[in-house]
Amino acid sequence: MLAASGWLWSAGAVALGTACLWIFQSAIDKGQASLLYLPIVLFCAIRFGYGQAIGAAVLSFFCWDFFFLPPRFTLTVVNPRDTLSLFVFLIAAVVTARLSSRIRQQAAEAQVREHEISTLFNASEAISAEIDADRILPALASQIVSTCRASRCIVLRQGIADAMEPVASVWSDKSDHAVLQSVVQVLAEAVFSDDQEIGFGQSPRLLRRAMETMELPAEYDRTEDPGIYVPLHAQSKLVGVLHVGPRIMSGASGKETTRFSDTERRLILTLSNHAAVVLARQTLSDQAAEADALRRADTLKDALLSMVSHELRSPLAAIKVAASGLRQSDAVWDSADRDAAIRGIDVEADRLIGVVNNLLDLSRLEGGAWAPNRDWCDMAEIVGTVIGQLTAEADRIITDVPDDLPLIKVDYVQIMLVLTNLLQNALKYSNEDSNVELSAQTDTCDVEGVVVSGVKVSVRDHGPGITPGEETKIFERFFRGDRHRNSTIHGTGVGLTLCRAVVLAHKGQIWAENYEDDPQSRGSVFQFFLPIG
């Protein structure tokens, strides 16, 4: 259409030039006609292309001869100088047409390249604006959809049981895509297993095989343009598939799909390389996270095993010895020894129960199976109950809990557990003749950037304190302080982890520090804050 109108415009330009020459012929020498015809040829070459320019040159040649060279109104030329002028004009016009159409073509190519580069630049800018790897692929897919006006762009990677799973999908409309989604997955599987693209080169055999042998939904119209599928390679490994749905336009005969231009195809290929790198990076970081999780699970297993071997074996051994002794009929036990053995069994059994309970409570808390059952509670009442249960050493605890503390909405049993663990630690890690001070007060705390009011509880002892640098580590699972790892003081490294899990479940905070008010008085203070509601 454009080419046909180009021919007409070229003929029209020559006709107009001839008319002008005709009007001003008295002022122009017949040999100067070429001065007007050459710019016309140049115009046609730049505006319409080589063919039209040659057409204009030939037409000018005949018009000049017919209208202006004697004998006029015939194509005969009698003067050999005129014949020479005509042919020189024709050669000059053809050379002009050739050169200027080449320049035109180069300009057009440069424009296409510039468009391509600016599109790529926009795309990579939009993608690099995303730091989060999970958002780069959707950003990339939406760039392809918007730049190529594609109906969809989906990035897939191999998931469980070798099925292709979409990791990013962007659709140009919001209708239901369930059928197409499963078609894309099936075709992506074929592309992945054959490592062949669809929609670029020779892929009909793959497409036919996929259409015939793979399970496509019955509702799918198999004559539909499947779009483009590109296998994604990174570091010479196949990491996924990028699919771009065809461009769908509404035409006179309903919806029509239109082919992507070469520039758009190049853009898709370039962005698919980006997608491959991102997918490979994601796979690597997933593998690293998996390896890290395995390593941590291994470390935990080792810690659990060593804890079990220390903390469960020694009380069990003590119980076994005492029980075996009691069972020996010939053993000569006075009543004091018998009582001591029975008390030993009782204490060791309590220790065992404590260890097992702590472990179970921690696993329930961390597994989300023990959510706090919150109700309005009085901290003074919780403190009273806990101290009441620590019968043996309760007299070492000095409390300072005001009566007018506000009620707080917490799980009574869980907060008892926290207090019990902190008090037991303070008692066991300090001298038997030293006191443990427990105080509570109204306070405010910055919780997740918001200042909230609540109650702060402190448990302070006069023991050796926490080894500097271990203030946060001691809250980690199975961690025992440097000083206590091989000491005679029993421990599992679970108590503080449990305390932290409970306090965090109440949206509170817990921390530990040493204090050195005066050189005579050292020790550690464990504090936790619970918001009112």
Interface with ligand ADP (CB under 6 A): 421, 425-426, 429, 461, 463, 465-466, 474, 479-481, 484, 491-497, 524
Q: For 455-466, b where at least 16 C-beta lie within 10 A, e where not — what string? A: bbbbbbbbbbbb
Specify the length of the chain in residues.
533
- Separation CA 380–CA 443 (nearest Å): 15
In the bound complex, what is the minimum distance in angstroms from residue 415's beta carbon to ligand ADP? Answer: 16
In the bound complex, what is the minimum distance in angstroms from residue 419's beta carbon to ligand ADP? Answer: 13
Strand stretches in 75-217, DSSP E: 152-158, 164-171
What Cα–Cα distance (Å) separates residue 144 from each residue in 244, 271, 460?
8, 8, 62
In the bound complex, what is the minimum distance in angstroms from residue 423's beta carbon to ligand ADP? Answer: 9
Residue 332 phi/psi, 5-degree rounding, is: -100, 105
Q: Residue 160 in 3-state DSSP? A: helix
Reported as type and span, the H/E element at residue 443 is strand 436-447
In the bound complex, what is the minimum distance in angstroms from residue 506's beta carbon to ligand ADP? Answer: 18
Residue 96 or 524: which CB sits closer to ligand ADP? 524
Residue 52 or 414: which CB sits closer to ligand ADP? 414
Residue 257 or 527: which CB sits closer to ligand ADP? 527
Residue 63 or 459: which CB sits closer to ligand ADP? 459
Residue 282 or 358: which CB sits closer to ligand ADP? 358
Give the pairing type, strands 237-244 and 247-251.
unpaired
Residue 220 or 478: which CB sits closer to ligand ADP? 478
Q: For 91-125, b where at least 16 C-beta lie within 10 A, e where not — what string? A: eebbebbeebbeebeeeeeeeeeeebeebbeebee
In the bound complex, what is the minimum distance in angstroms from residue 492's beta carbon to ligand ADP? Answer: 4
Strand stretches in 140-275, DSSP E: 152-158, 164-171, 228-234, 237-244, 247-251, 254-258
Q: Starting at the earlier edge strand, list the strands of the sheet with 450-460.
A: 397-400, 436-447, 450-460, 521-531, 509-518
In the bound complex, what is the minimum distance in angstroms from residue 469's beta carbon to ligand ADP? Answer: 12
Q: For 422-443, b where at least 16 C-beta lie within 10 A, e where not — what string? A: bbbbbbbbbeeeebbbbbbeee
Rg (C-alpha) for the chain, rounded Å, is 44
In the bound complex, what is the minimum distance in angstroms from residue 463's beta carbon to ligand ADP? Answer: 5
**Six-digit token string for 409:** 């909405």
455 forms beta bridges with 442, 530
In the bound complex, what is the minimum distance in angstroms from residue 528's beta carbon to ligand ADP? Answer: 13
In the bound complex, what is the minimum distance in angstroms from residue 427's beta carbon to ligand ADP? Answer: 8
Q: Residue 410 in 3-state DSSP? A: strand
Residue 172 or 458: which CB sits closer to ligand ADP? 458
| Residue 378 neighbours by CB under 8 Å, 6+ apart | 405, 407
- Separation CA 513–CA 23 (nearest Å): 106
In the bound complex, what is the minimum distance in angstroms from residue 503's beta carbon to ligand ADP? Answer: 13
Residue 149 or 484: which CB sits closer to ligand ADP? 484
328, 331, 333, 337: CA torsion to nearest 10: -60
**DSSP line for 285-304:** HHHHHHHHHHHHHHHHHHHH
Residue 438 or 494: which CB sits closer to ligand ADP? 494
Residue 244 or 427: which CB sits closer to ligand ADP? 427
Residue 181 or 527: which CB sits closer to ligand ADP? 527
In the bound complex, what is the minimum distance in angstroms from residue 363's beta carbon to ligand ADP? Answer: 15
In the bound complex, what is the minimum distance in angstroms from residue 485's beta carbon to ligand ADP? Answer: 7
Residue 156 or 474: which CB sits closer to ligand ADP? 474
Q: Which of 333, 370, 150 is nearest to 244 (CA)?
A: 150
In the bound complex, what is the minimum distance in angstroms from residue 499's beta carbon to ligand ADP? Answer: 8
Q: Residue 441 in 3-state DSSP? A: strand
154 forms beta bridges with 169, 243
Do residues 179 and 218 touch, judged by C-beta distance below 8 A? no
Residue 454 or 481: which CB sits closer to ligand ADP? 481
Residue 195 or 476: which CB sits closer to ligand ADP? 476
Q: Which of 427, 423, 424, 494 is nearest to 459 (CA)?
A: 423
In the bound complex, what is the minimum distance in angstroms from residue 445's beta carbon to ligand ADP? Answer: 21
